[in-house]
Each structure stands twice: as C-alpha cells, then as structure tokens.
C-alpha cells in the first residue's frame, strides 16, 4: 500500500530537507511539502490535497506530529479525516501508528503536549511584550496608514472610496481614521 509523506515548516526561511530525507528513507512514495503555520489548517493546501487524495489502506507519514498540527482539536480533526478514508497515520521520530491502540494513545498524549507548548510560547511572548511596554521599549508595530494623508485628502473634498483607492488602503480604514460622520 502507498505511503504518503507530509513535511511542513512554519516560515519561509526554514528548511524542509531533513524532513524530506527522513520521509524518503521511511518509504514514502510521494511527499507533500509546505511552508505554513501549523496552528491552523487554513492556508495548508498541500495537507488538504493529501487528505483528499488518500484511500483505504494508505498510510500518511510525518516526521513528528507537530508537523501535522499544533492544537489537539486540529490534530483530532486531521486524524479523523485520515481514519474516515480508511488510512493510517505514522510518525518517523515518534512511536505513533494509528493502526494500534498504543499508537493512538501516544498520539493523543503528544497532541496535548504540542498544544501546551504553543500556549506556553504565546504566554512568554505576551509577558515579554508587557515587560517591554512597561520599560517603554515596546511601541508596537508602525502604523500602516498615513492618518495625515487621509485627513488632507478629505479636506481637499475627496470621498472615502477615492481616498482608499489613492492610498491603497481599505475603505473601512479610511472611515476609522475619519471617525463617525455627523
């Protein structure tokens, strides 16, 4: 039966080579690759293609389950989709094999830890931002809208739709800058 690999990294500057090597060495006949966040299934076309393509008896293989999902909910949904097709999930670096009871249990435990790790990282980031704000170091991201340009164009008699078009911003952003109309 075919073994299909799935390799994912979160950012464009990360490299998929090591995952692809491991999946190839583990017998994957086809490997779907993408660079997208694992915190959601949105924007992960290669994963969706794989889920649509697999059939009964196939195996989906990843190097580690955090390459597949970063939340327990997403992981369960993905595994449910794989099982609904009659396929199995295996991981190269972890004892996961959904065709066995022990493999299923280990999968669930690792999913909980992957989500826990993501939540811890988010908490540390928010703590760091709060500390930087208190020290006056963190100012947030730079505004992407030139408020003065919006007001200047309005004062010149240009309407919100045309302002948005000229400044290449959304019309809702123009309305937010201009505030409520009387």
pLDDT at position 137, please? Answer: 85
Residue 53: pLDDT band by 50, 70, 90 thresholds? very high
pLDDT at position 27, please? Answer: 95
| Mean pLDDT taken over the chain | 88
Residue boundaries of the structural domains of the chain: 3-117, 147-178
pLDDT at position 37, please? Answer: 82
* Distance (Å, whole) CA 36 – CA 45: 9
Average pLDDT over residues 52-56: 95
The CB density around residue 88, as the number of other CB atoms within 10 Å, is 22
Strands (E) in the chain, as ranges, are: 3-9, 30-35, 59-62, 88-91
pLDDT at position 31, please? Answer: 95
The CB density around residue 120, as the number of other CB atoms within 10 Å, is 10
10 is catalytic: yes
pLDDT at residue 128 is higher than 80: yes
DSSP letters spanning 106-117: HHHHHHHHHHHH
pLDDT at position 181, please? Answer: 65
Distance (Å) of CA 11 to CA 86, 157, 170, 177: 32, 44, 27, 33
pLDDT at position 74, please? Answer: 83
Write down the pTM of the prediction: 0.61
Fold observed for domain 3-117: Rossmann fold (3.40.50)
* Distance (Å, whole) CA 166 – CA 156: 13
Q: What does the buried/exposed string (b/e) look like for 62-86 if buried means 16 or more CB atoms within 10 Å of the residue's CB?
A: bbebbbbbbbbebbeebbebbeebe
* Distance (Å, whole) CA 92 – CA 25: 10
pLDDT at position 18, please? Answer: 94
Closest CA to 92 of 113, 112, 64, 68: 64
Q: Which of 38-42, 74-78, 170-174 has the lowest mean pLDDT?
A: 38-42
* Distance (Å, whole) CA 144 – CA 91: 42
List, for residues 13-31, the tens digit of each pLDDT value.
Answer: 889 999 999 999 999 989 9
């Amino acid at each position: 039966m075919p073994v299909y690999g799935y390799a994912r990294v979160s950012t464009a500057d990360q490299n998929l080579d090591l995952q692809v090597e491991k999946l190839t060495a583990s017998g994957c006949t086809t490997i779907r690759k993408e660079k997208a966040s694992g915190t959601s299934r949105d924007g992960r076309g290669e994963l969706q293609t794989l889920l649509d393509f697999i059939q009964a008896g196939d195996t989906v293989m990843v190097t580690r389950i955090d390459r597949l999902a970063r939340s327990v909910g997403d992981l369960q949904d993905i595994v449910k989709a794989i099982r609904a097709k009659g396929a199995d999930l295996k991981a190269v670096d972890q004892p996961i094999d959904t065709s066995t009871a022990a493999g299923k249990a280990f999968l669930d435990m690792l999913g909980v830890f992957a989500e826990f790790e993501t939540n811890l990282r988010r908490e540390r980031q928010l703590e760091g931002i709060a500390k930087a704000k208190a020290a006056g170091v963190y100012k947030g991201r730079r505004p992407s809208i030139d408020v003065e340009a919006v007001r200047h164009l309005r004062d010149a008699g240009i309407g919100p739709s045309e302002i948005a078009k000229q400044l290449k911003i959304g019309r809702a952003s123009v309305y937010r800058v201009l505030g409520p109309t009387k």
